[in-house]
Amino acid sequence: MVKIDEKLEPILNEVIRRNAGEPEFHQAVREVMESLGRVVAKHPRYADNALIERICEPERQIIFRIPWVDDQGQVQINRGFRVQFNSALGPYKGGIRFHPSVNVGIIKFLGFEQCFKNALTGMPIGGGKGGSDFNPRGRSDGEIMRFCQSFMTELYRHLGEYTDVPAGDIGVGGREIGYMFGQYKRLTNRYEAGVLTGKALFYGGSRARKEATGYGATYFVERMLATRGLNFEGRKAVVSGSGNVAIYTMEKILEFGGRIVACSDSAGYVVDDDGIDLDLVKEIKEVRRGRIAEYARERKQARYVEKGSIWDVPCDVAMPSATQNELTGKDAETLVKNGVIAVGEGANMPSTPDAVRIFQDAGVLFAPGKAANAGGVATSALEMQQNASRDSWTFEQTETRLATIMRGIHDRCAATAEEFGAPGDYVLGANIAGFVRVAEAMDALGVI
């Protein structure tokens, strides 16, 4: 483990003490603290006024009961969360995750990361995150709708286009956003389009929002490869996951001339040496809401591996786009041994701390999620802009803005890493650039 600066160590210890049993949150805070040593050494004023302590403490945390009735007439209970982390830069902004693994520590880690990610976009959005331990798998449309309505019946009072603007995340896509928006509208009697992002196009959604996280991550990696005179042309890529992020990462890599050799879902992965047929993945995942195993049943040359790690598949570019801590130190060693040249995180914190260290020590280009996957939330901010001006932009216009934002984030991270004496260290660059923007805004607003 990297040694933490002596001014920062007590702050980290205090975070661990008062947030007991939340390892993902500790991990996310620790990583930022590792980077901030260089900031407080250069600019000691950032350690004043308990600025760093305040950044680690959410402004508000809401935990609530979600009762709903399943198709058998049974009453079910889930737990809902919204962690409103920091609003110095704008209304809280961040997705809602529905997954059985969700707990307060996971939502807190995601909310913490979101503050820095959103700051990196340069847009006026604070950080927050929410979700529930509800498992949508195998649930009917009616059950999903009743659950979303019950979730929003509590959450609506904490939201607003100037207060808190949720979006999707794992388990929450266009369908769920629609049900939540409908319930919000009904409860408030307001057509407040800007209260949720990731809406469908016909009621205030933005073009390119669905594609944005994956496209954005690929733009980031393209720019990062270019620093070494490289590109995607003819390169083999492995993209874990088969949700929104993974699907549109694959689409953009293909457009850039790369080849996708493997993708996965939570049950296993498929390898297709002919190159993954993205249309089939879309059909399985977006239309049938099925499992990736179906791919190998329909493509004879493909092979499905139920147990094991997708990172065993040799590739030039790895894009972990499934979930937190999916790529371990052992996986990183395998990838390095197989000659990986770049890793771009499409998911939030998918690489464990030792995996990150192994990549960096081996000189692999490494793009951390809070920078590389910021295209999703950046396009959410573009959706908010369109809603505020009652406008609707073309796909090209929106994607052009996204591409400019991603290249800007890349360049800001690279320049910051350089300024703080660690050229090429995008983890350090992202943490410091994100932190400085949030800290400056907080300082300007006084002790609040």
* Helix/strand/coil (H/E/C) assignment for every residue in the chain: CCCCCCCCHHHHHHHHHHCCCCHHHHHHHHHHHHHHHHHHHHCHHHHHHHHHHHHCCCCEEEEEEEEEECCCCCEEEEEEEEEEEECCCCCEEEEEEECCCCCHHHHHHHHHHHHHHHHHCCCCCCEEEEEECCCCCCCCHHHHHHHHHHHHHHHHHHCECCCEEEEEECCECHHHHHHHHHHHHHHHCCCCHHHCCCCCHHHCCCCCHHHHHHHHHHHHHHHHHHCCCCCCCCCEEEEECCCHHHHHHHHHHHHCCCEEEEEEECCEEEECCCCCCHHHHHHHHHHCCCCCHHHHHHCCCCEEECCCCHHHCCCCEEEECCCCCCECHHHHHHHHHCCCCEEECCCCCCECHHHHHHHHHCCCEEECHHHHCCHHHHHHHHHHHHHHCCCCCCHHHHHHHHHHHHHHHHHHHHHHHHHCCCCCCHHHHHHHHHHHHHHHHHHHCCCC
* Min separation Cβ 245 and ligand GLU, Å: 9
Catalytic residue among 108, 117, 129, 285: 129
Nearer Cβ to ligand GLU (90/95)? 95
* Min separation Cβ 196 and ligand GLU, Å: 9
* Min separation Cβ 267 and ligand GLU, Å: 22
* Min separation Cβ 213 and ligand GLU, Å: 7
Instruction: Let me know if 129 is a catalytic residue.
Output: yes
Nearer Cβ to ligand GLU (280/403)? 403
* Min separation Cβ 369 and ligand GLU, Å: 8
- Judged by the rule CB under 6 A, the positions of this chain that interact with ligand GLU are 93-95, 167, 169, 197, 348, 376-377, 380
Nearer Cβ to ligand GLU (251/316)? 251
Nearer Cβ to ligand GLU (258/368)? 368
Nearer Cβ to ligand GLU (37/241)? 241
Q: Which residues are tagged catalytic?
A: 129
